[in-house]
């Protein structure tokens, strides 16, 4: 690695571990009641896979099975596509909500109870399409506070990199 490349990498890393800071923000959002999918969507992530992995790493949610779906799980096709679009498996999604497999399967099919509410929060367009209920004006059972991620960076001439201001 050349000196110029190493210097650029140090500048881009901002002199601190940005991934660690993001994981702390995910944990804070999860503590406020946000689901894995909600954190990923509101955090601007293309996939919820990293959010799920970060919360598992911190011991906040149980791990779900990555990869291909079990053959015994028969999901509605549109729901399976919604999960694929967000980048997690059914097992990971239900692990984030801490649903049992049977409970989750029944709830995804009927869109009733706790699982129905979870589907409404995580996949409002799917829920609206399947039930005909407009989800834009729905009140959720669990109200969660909005969260913002704010990083204040300043240039540190001694380190020759950006650093986080701690207020």
Place of tokens 């990498």: 9
Tell me: the pLDDT tens digits for 96-136?
Answer: 999 988 898 888 989 999 999 999 999 999 998 888 887 76
Whole-model pTM: value is 0.69
Phi-psi region of 99 (alpha: psi -120 to 50; beta: other; left: phi over 0): beta
pLDDT score for 141: 44
Strand partners, 164: 153
Here the tokens at position 3 are: 């000196």
The span from the CA of 145 to the CA of 32, in Å, is: 7
């Amino acid at each position: 690695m050349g000196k110029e490349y190493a210097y650029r990498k140090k500048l881009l890393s901002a002199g601190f571990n940005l991934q660690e800071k993001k994981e702390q923000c995910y944990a804070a959002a999860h503590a406020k009641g946000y689901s894995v999918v909600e954190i990923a969507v509101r955090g601007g992530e293309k996939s919820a896979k990293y959010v799920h992995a970060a919360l598992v790493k911190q011991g906040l949610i149980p791990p779900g099975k990555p990869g291909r779906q079990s053959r015994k799980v028969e999901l509605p096709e549109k729901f399976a596509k919604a999960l694929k679009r967000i980048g997690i498996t059914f097992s990971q999604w239900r692990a984030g909500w801490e649903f049992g497999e049977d409970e989750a399967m029944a709830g995804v099919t009927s869109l009733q109870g706790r699982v129905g509410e979870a589907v409404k929060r995580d996949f409002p367009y799917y829920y609206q399409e399947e039930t005909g209920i407009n989800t834009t004006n729905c009140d959720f059972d669990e109200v969660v506070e909005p969260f913002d991620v704010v990083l204040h960076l300043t240039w540190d001439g001694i380190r020759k990199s950006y650093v986080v201001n701690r207020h």
